[in-house]
Amino acid sequence: MIYLKTDEEIELIRLSNQLVGRTLGEVAKAIKPGVTTLELDKIAETYIRDNKGVPGFLDYQGFPNTLCTSVNDNVVHGIPNDDPLKEGDVVSVDCGVLLNGFYGDCAYTFEIGEVNFDIKKLLKTTKEALYKGIEAARHGNRIGDIGYAIQNHCESHGYSVVREMVGHGIGKSLHEAPEVPNYGRRGYGTKLQQGMVIAIEPMINLGKKEIVIGDDNWTVQTADKGVSAHYEHTVAVGKSEADILSSFKFVEEVLTLQS
């Protein structure tokens, strides 16, 4: 069942997502070589609770933390730990918030210090693909149009698209129908309607598309140990264009000041 949201509900989902964006901005202030992902997790949980939110991932289906922190060959669902981040690492930080009865969900892949050019290019392409997917998220299009836009952009640059992990609807539940794959055929799949709210989240690998699940039964890793990138926005499907409810603004303001 796909739940169409009212304008009022979309505004509440926007508030949840803006808190996610500001939380990722706090993470951006602290992220650097030598910092642990567990330290970042504590920063995020404190900030969310201080702003009257509840961490959306903590205890969700047993997940033990506020953030998913996926380093290098980890694709998604990495569990924060005490290993210090190193120069040249990349880390996807995925954050969810429950506020006023609605969820927000957003992810950003951070560079730690100076990163290899090939990996920088992967991150740039993945982020571009996210926005190409968002451009296709409008009333009358189909889910396959979003996946096609992402897949076409990434594969044309020589990267591979993870098949098993997908985007999703979001609202009063963190994961709602429909699923939003990052691959697909134009004109196929569920028809997009105004009022649908979906999380679009390309997960793109430098090497092959195959994945494995780590020993913790959570962390999704590339089978070939190649680096993976992950960006995510929550958007409302609009009549003529998607309305991006989440924000990278707070992250990118911090990164601009640091550069």
Which range has the worst mean pLDDT, 78-82, 86-90, 229-233, 255-259? 255-259
- At 111 the pLDDT is 98
Residue 33, preceding peptide bond in cis (omega within 30° of 0): no
Q: Is the pLDDT of residue 114 over 90?
A: yes
Q: The dihedral of CA 188, 194, 195, 200: what is its sign?
A: positive
Enumerate domains of the chain plus CATH numbers: 7-258 (3.90.230.10)
Q: Based on the number of CB atoms within 10 Å of its own CB, is 139 exposed (0-12), middle (13-18) or buried (19 or more)?
A: middle
* 105 φ, ψ (degrees, to nearest 5): -155, 125
Query: What is the rounded average pLDDT of the residues 131-150?
Result: 98
- At 254 the pLDDT is 97
Q: How far apart are CA 84 and CA 75, in angstroms?
A: 18
Residue 18, C-beta contacts closer than 8 angstroms, at least 6 positions apart: 104, 245, 246, 247
Q: Is the pLDDT of residue 208 over 90?
A: yes
Global model pTM greater than 0.95? yes
Query: What is the rounded average pLDDT of the residues 21-48?
Result: 98
Query: What is the rounded average pLDDT of the residues 185-190?
Result: 98
- At 99 the pLDDT is 98
Give the residues across from 213 on adjacent strands: 220
Q: Is the pLDDT of residue 7 over 90?
A: yes
- At 216 the pLDDT is 96
Rounded to the nearest integer, the mean pLDDT of the chain is: 98
Query: What is the rounded average pLDDT of the residues 16-45?
Result: 98
Q: Is the pLDDT of residue 259 over 90?
A: no
Name the token pair of 168.
Answer: 């999703």
Q: How confident is the model at residue 193 (pLDDT cuts 50, 70, 90)?
A: very high
- At 91 the pLDDT is 98
Query: What is the rounded average pLDDT of the residues 176-204?
Result: 98
- At 195 the pLDDT is 97
Cβ atoms of residues 108 and 93 within 8 Å: yes
Cβ atoms of residues 91 and 110 within 8 Å: yes
Our CA angle for 127, 35, 117, nearest 5°, is 40
Query: What is the rounded average pLDDT of the residues 4-16?
Result: 98
Q: Is the pLDDT of residue 247 over 90?
A: yes
Q: Which of 252, 142, 156, 141 is nearest to 204 (CA)?
A: 156
